[in-house]
Amino acid sequence: MSLRPDFLWGFATASYQIEGAIDQDGRAPSIWDTFCAIPGKIAHGASGEVACDSYNRTAEDIALLKEVGAQAYRFSLSWSRIIPLGGRNDPVNQAGLDHYVKFVDDLLDAGITPMITLYHWDLPDELDKRYGGLLNREEFPLDFENYARVVFKAIPKCKYWITFNEPFCSSVLAYSFGQFAPGHTSDRTKSPVGDSSREPWIVGHNLLVAHGRAVKVYRDEFKPTDKGVIGITLNGDATYPWDPEDPRDVEAAERKIEFSIAWFADPVYFGKYPDSMRKQLGDRLPEFTAEEAALVKGSNDFYGMNHYTADYVKHGDGNPPPEDHAGDLTTSKTNKAGESIGPETQSFWLNPNPQGFRNLINWLSKRYGYPPIYVTENGTSIKGENDLTREQILEDDFRVKYFHDYAHALAAAVAEDGCDVRGYMGWSLMDNFEWAEGYETRFGCTYVDYEDNQKRYPKKSAYAMKPLFDSLIKKE
C-alpha cells in the first residue's frame, strides 16, 4: 500500500459524449452538433444527439457510481446549456445551470466527490460563427472567463476544477487534421477553411490565456471562501527512442513530449514555450504579451494528466513540412529490433505500456518540480469489443488487466520514485460517443446498450476498480 490515505479514485466522462438531450431545456448547439451534421465526418453518421441520455439519467449514473464504489466523478459541463450563445453579454440559461447545481448536490449526498471540467471540446457554436471561436485572441478568453465565473458562483460546493481538457486535441485535431470540430485543415479535400501550419498554434495560445484568466478569477473571487483547487488537463504519450543507440532518436523522443505536453505545461510552470518549439516554428508560435505571461505562469494548483499509451520515436530529416505538429519525427508501435510496444486495441493509436506511464509521471515530476498530479483519464478500448455479444463484452479481462497494470505503475512512481500523485479517474464510466469514431469504439467500464434504451450493464472492470485501489491506498 503506497498511495496516500486521501487518494481519490473514480471515473471520468465528457458532456457531449454522454448527455444527449441536445435541444432540451434551452441548450443551444455546440460546434460538435454542427460538425456531426456534416456528411462523412463521423463513423456511420453518428452524433451525440442521444448518446447515453445521461442528461435525463443523472440519478441512474449516480447509482452506478455508488454500486461500483467510486469515490469521485470527473465530468464536464456543456457551455451551451449554461450560456446558450456563449458570450459574456449573452443571457444565462438558468435551467441548464440548475441541472448541474442539482447534479453536484446529488453526487455529494451520495458521498461522491465531483471534479468538474469546464470545457471538453464543445464550444457554443454561436461563438465559432460570431468571431471564429478559439481562433480569436481578444474575444474568446474574455467569454471563457465570464462562463467560468458564472459556474464558479453557482457551484461553490465543487472543490476540484479543470479549465480545459486536452488543449492539444482542441488545437491539432480540430485545426490541423480537421478530424475534430470545427474541422479546420489545410487539406482542401476535407475542409474549405483552415491553415494547418498556423491555426493550431494560435488556438493553443488562446486556450492558455483563457485558462489563465479563469484561474485568476477563481483564485481572486472564489478560492478564499470555497477552498478548492484548479488546474488544466494535458494529454500525452510516453516515448521511447526507436533506436536507443542513436542520439537523434533519443532527442526526438524527448522532443515529442515537448511538442505535445510541454507546449502547454511549460508556459504554465515557466512562463514560456519550449525552446525546441520556438526553434522549429519561429513566428508561427505566438509570443506571450507581458500581461498574458503573468496570467498563465503559475496557473496550476495541480497537474491534470490524461494518458493512455506509448510510442517509439524516430528522428526526422531536419526539414519538417509547415504543417508538422510533432517536432520533426515519426512514431511507431515497433522499435528497431522489431519489438512491439504493447498489445493491439480497437484504437490504432493505443497500445498498453504501463512502464511508459510510470516513466512519464517521472518526466513530468522532474521537469515541473514534483507538482501534485491527478490522473484525470486513463483507460483502453479492446480490439473487436463492439462485435461481441453483451455477455462477452461484460467479461472485459483485457481492460481489468490494463487498469491493474497501470495502477501498479502509478503506485511504483509514488512509492519508489517519490512522485506526488493524488488521484486517478478511469476512462470511462460508460461506453459513449467516441468523437469521430461514433459508437464503433467502446472505452466504458459499463456496457451501454444503444439498441435497448441506453440500458447500462457494469462490466467486470467496473467492479475491479474498488478492490484494486483498496489494495494500494494506505489506511488512515
Find the catalytic residue in 19, 126, 139, 166: 166
| Known active-site residue 166 | yes
CB contact set of 348 (below 8 Å; sequence gap of 6+): none
CA 197 to chain centre: 23
- By the 8 A CB rule, do 443 and 11 touch? no
Phi, psi for residue 451 in degrees, rounded to 5 = -90, -15
C-alpha cell at 9: 479514485
- By the 8 A CB rule, do 301 and 276 touch? no
| Known active-site residue 437 | no
Find the catalytic residue in 126, 145, 292, 377: 377
Which residues are marked as active site? 166, 377
